[in-house]
């Protein structure tokens, strides 16, 4: 929606032009390859890595193509997947296991992949209580990943439908209505006044970011994932005197995708539950309107 409103969250001038076909989490079948392509064949089922880098810098060679100084984002700077056909570099094609549908693949990259990588960096495991703030598609993926890792999950949002969905469909252990309740106080009650071990903010809302910092225990870990251009925090009280580890986390290195898909398959994670609506591309106007009105969670176009 940031493209539609002319304020894209990533990308350069092309993203602001209104001339780029969107769709940044595509998956599909390879129908044609160039003469120099060797690792991908016609008929392969693939998901597409969203960052196109130069391929030569240290970031690209380490798998973090989105850190390349010249990177471009598929669906923002370069034409994306909301079309019958899409052309991408060979190195951006990530092969899918047979057990993963195209719909599951479409949420396995930016949503599930991002939250898997963040929780891997946070060392989330069965001993942890994790609070997830913001239960859109990213937060919902965070709940699924955390439950598969064995954590106790506290889900926080201001929209009741999302809270119920997180508990009934995604497996959250506790839900907190941030609109009417004191989320930090309730998290302390749930954790016997210790605070949660870790927190992830997927909302990009400054109030939620502060609640995440306030809710974790001393020596806790916090990851910010939701996009936020500016926020005010209290470093002495929230960070220094609690000795917190606070990180930003964005997407995942491309070589980690096989690990991500095997995690989904092995743990039988129902990632398709994140997709509440599917549409034909001819229904795009309705699909985007419903998503913008927050009447859906993840929306996927299916051919």
pLDDT of 273: 95
The label of the residue with tokens 């991408």 reads: 88
Mean pLDDT of successive 10-residue stretches along the chain, which has 303 residues:
88 90 95 96 97 96 96 96 96 97 96 97 98 96 98 97 96 96 98 98 97 98 94 96 97 97 98 96 95 90 94
Q: Which residues are registered as beta bridge partners of 29?
A: 45
pLDDT tens-digit profile of 36-52?
A: 999 999 999 999 999 99
Q: How far apart are CA 63 and CA 36, in angstroms?
A: 21
pTM: 0.95
Contact 136, 159 (CB under 8 A): no
Contact 289, 263 (CB under 8 A): no
Q: How far apart are CA 130 and CA 134, in angstroms?
A: 13
- Is residue 36 exposed (0-12), middle (13-18) or buried (19+ Cβ within 10 Å)? exposed
Is 1.10.10.10 the CATH number for 113-248?
Answer: no
Q: How far is CA 166 from CA 50, 113, 273, in A?
A: 27, 18, 10
pLDDT of 294: 84
| Domain residue ranges in the chain | 1-95, 113-248
Q: How far apart are CA 86 and CA 88, in angstroms?
A: 7
pLDDT tens-digit profile of 235-268?
A: 999 999 999 999 999 999 999 999 999 999 999 9
User: Which 3-state string (H, E, C) describes 224-262?
Assistant: ECCCCCCCCCCHHHHCHHHCCEEEECCCCCHHHHHHHHH
Q: Which CATH architecture has domain 1-95?
A: Alpha-Beta Complex (3.90)
- The dihedral of CA 62, 269, 133, 135: what is its sign? positive
Q: What is the radius of gyration, based on Cα positions, of the chain?
A: 19
pLDDT of 4: 87
């Amino acid at each position: 929606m940031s493209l539609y409103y002319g304020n894209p969250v990533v990308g350069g001038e092309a993203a602001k032009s209104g001339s780029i076909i969107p769709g940044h989490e595509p998956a599909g079948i390879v129908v044609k390859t160039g003469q120099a392509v060797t690792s991908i064949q016609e008929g392969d089922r693939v998901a597409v890595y969203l960052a196109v880098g130069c391929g030569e810098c240290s970031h690209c060679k380490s798998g973090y193509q989105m850190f390349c100084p010249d990177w471009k984002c598929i669906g923002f700077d370069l034409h994306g997947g909301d079309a019958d056909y899409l052309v991408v570099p060979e190195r951006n094609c990530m092969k899918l296991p047979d057990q993963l549908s195209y719909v599951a693949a479409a949420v396995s990259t930016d949503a599930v992949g991002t939250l898997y990588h963040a929780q891997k960096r946070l060392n989330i495991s069965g001993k942890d209580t994790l609070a997830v703030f913001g239960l859109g598609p990213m937060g919902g993926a965070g709940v699924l990943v955390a439950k598969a890792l064995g954590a106790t999950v506290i889900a926080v949002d201001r929209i009741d439908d999302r809270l119920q969905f997180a508990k009934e469909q995604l497996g959250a252990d506790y839900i907190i209505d941030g609109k009417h309740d004191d989320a930090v106080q309730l998290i302390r009650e749930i954790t016997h006044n210790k605070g949660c071990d870790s927190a992830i903010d997927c909302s990009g809302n400054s109030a939620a970011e502060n609640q995440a910092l306030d809710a974790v225990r001393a020596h806790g870990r916090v990851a910010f994932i939701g996009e936020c251009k500016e926020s005010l925090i209290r470093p002495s009280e929230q960070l220094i005197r609690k000795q917190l580890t606070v990180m930003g986390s964005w997407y995942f290195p491309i070589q980690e995708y096989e690990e991500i898909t095997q995690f989904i398959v092995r743990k039988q994670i129902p990632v398709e539950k994140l997709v509440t609506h599917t549409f034909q591309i001819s229904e795009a106007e309705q699909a985007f309107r419903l998503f913008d009105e927050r009447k859906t969670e993840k929306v996927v176009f299916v051919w």
